[in-house]
Every structure is written in structure tokens, then in C-alpha cells.
Amino acid sequence: MIKNLNTLFVTMFGLGRIKIIPGTFGSLATVLILYFFFHIYNISSNIILLFLLIIFILSFFTIAAHIRDNKNKDPSEVIIDEFIGQSIPIYLYEISHGTKKTSDEALIFYIICFILFRFFDIVKPFPVNFFDKNYKNSFGVIMDDVFAGIYVVLSLISFMILKNYII
């Protein structure tokens, strides 16, 4: 029973079992979930942060249990790490500037975050590749996506700074 619940969690309720591009589907599901939380259900950003922190902490244990007897220490069906990494830029966007974001603005931003996150998660620039190659455990599985999410944030900040100097 516990093993089945664990598998449901790390595969985002089976979404990670999709044979082609499961990470992309996990990221896309994250975008949709967070869009609904922030813009349809209007859930408080503090509640969403608590939810994200619980998932982050729980992921270390559930991924470790899932890969314990597996030769592949970063199996493609484990996509909860995509949820964590993709959540970082979206959450920070939603709480930034203290202004209300319209649903249309948010949708455009979420799409940009999705594309950038998938780019950094696939290309794996340093230190994303460092965690991916050197930590064959739940820490490595999670942290490479955390740093891909941080790269998205840094990229967007860089674009905003450049935009201010160009326009």
C-alpha cells in the first residue's frame, strides 16, 4: 500500500509512466496546477508555499524509497522533481512586485517559464549537470531540477534588466 502511494507521488499520479517525454508532461502539469491554484481558485500564496515545501521535503524520502532497489537512480518515471523545479520560477513570479497579475499575463509568463525550464532541464548547464552526474540519489534527482528552476529565474531577471536598458 505504502509503495503504491509512493509510486503515485513520485510519478505525479502515473503521469511519469507516459513513455515519451514524461518530464515535459510533468512540467506542463505543474504549469496547469499552479495556474489553477493562483488564478482560478485564488489560493493564498502562503498556502501554496506551504504545499510546495511539503512536496519538496517529502520528495527526498519518496524518491529515495522509489530508487532504493533500482539500478537506474534517476528513472524517467520520477517526475515530482520536475514539479519542484518548475514551481520555483512560477511561484516567485506570482509573489513578485506585490502587484496583481492578470490571468492573461500569467499565462504568457507561465509558457515562457515552461519553455525555459525544459531547456535548462534538457541542456543541463553547470551546476545542473553537476548534481545530475555526481549525486545518484534523491538529492541529485531533485537538485538538478531546482537549479534548472533557478536558471529560469536568473534568465528572466537578466531579460528584465536588459529590457530596461534597451527600451
Supply the pLDDT for residue 126: 93
- The tens digit of pLDDT for each residue in 136-145 reads 899 999 999 9
Neighbours of 157 (CB within 10 A): 12
- Condensed to tens digits (0 to 9), the pLDDT of residues 35-71 reads 999 999 999 999 999 999 999 999 999 999 999 978 8
Q: Domain limits at 157?
A: 2-166
- Total domains in the fold of the chain: 1
Query: pTM here?
Result: 0.94
Contacts of residue 86, defined as CB under 8 A and 6 or more positions apart, other chains included, come to 26, 27, 30, 31, 113, 114, 117, 145, 149
Look at residues 138, 111, 95, 123 and name the one whose alpha carbon lies nearest to residue 6: 138
Residue 81: closest CA among 101, 62, 105: 62
Q: Which residues in the chain show pLDDT less than 70? A: none
